Every structure is written in C-alpha cells, then in structure tokens.
Amino acid sequence: MKTAFLVVAGFLLAQVLYAKRIAAKPVSPVVSNGVEYSAEGGGQVQYVVATDVGSSRQLWKVEIFRTHIKPWLEPDVQLVFITDLALRGGTLLIRDEKARCYELKLATKKVKKRACE
C-alpha cells in the first residue's frame, strides 16, 4: 500500500513539475485622454481592454492574437502573452513574448501585424 502511494505521489509530482512555464510578467497599462489601455488574457487569446479612468467602466475589448494549442504538446508551454504596450499617436503598439509586433488603430479598433522596431 505504501509503495502504491509513493508511486502515485511521484507520478503526480512529476506532472506538476513537467513543462510548467513561469508566470507572465505584468504589463504596464498605457493611459491617454482619460482612457487606460491594458493587456488581458490567459495566453491562448490576448486582448487589449480600454477602460474609462474616471468611472472604471470598460469601453471596449479587442482580440489582438490567438494561439492555437497543439493537443499533443503541453498546453502551458504554448501560451503566449503580451509583453509591451506603447502609444504612438492614435495607434497602440503591442509586442508579445515571441517578439511579434502588432498595431491597434484606436479609432477603428483594427489590428494589424507589423515589423518590430
């Protein structure tokens, strides 16, 4: 009985330690004209959320990118998070953990992949 317990406990511990990623670093939001733009998501789908600073009311939420998870690989090591937000004029510049860059036109809420600077 003790041996069976140790085998099961060892298996469960191995599953916990195997292929786990470290937590994503927090991304500093960007504030402009009373609106805060922040990154949100669980790593499979990443969004930018616009929030009114005065009322804390969410104004809109736009999907920036989606990571398709391969079922034969550990899901947690496939997750990709937004790492940087920067505002340039009416465009929000976004970078992810894979050094891919996107721009979000704030007036139209259109997302476009772009070359990183």
pLDDT at 24: 77
Evaluate whether residue 106 is within a structural domain: yes
pLDDT band at 59 (very low <50, low <70, confident <90, very high): very high
* Residue 54 in this model has a pLDDT that exceeds 70: yes
116: nearest Cα among 45, 59, 17, 98: 98
- Over residues 92-107, mean pLDDT: 96
Is residue 14 assigned to a domain?
no
In a domain, 9, yes or no: no
Task: Please check whether residue 4 lies inside any domain of the structure.
Answer: no
pLDDT of 71 strictly over 80: yes
Structural domains counted in the chain: 1
Look at residue 5 and tell me if it is in a domain. no
1 occurs within a structural domain: no
- Expressed as residue numbers, the domain containing 42 is 21-114
In a domain, 93, yes or no: yes
CATH number at 108 reads 2.40.10.480
Provide DSSP, the chain: -HHHHHHHHHHHHHHHHTTPPPPPPP---EEETTEEEEEEE-SSEEEEEEEETTT--EEEEEEEEEPPPPTTS-GGGT---EEEEEEETTEEEEEETTS-EEEEETTTTEEEEE---
Q: What is the pLDDT of residue 29?
A: 97
Average pLDDT, the chain: 87
Q: Does 97 map to a domain?
A: yes
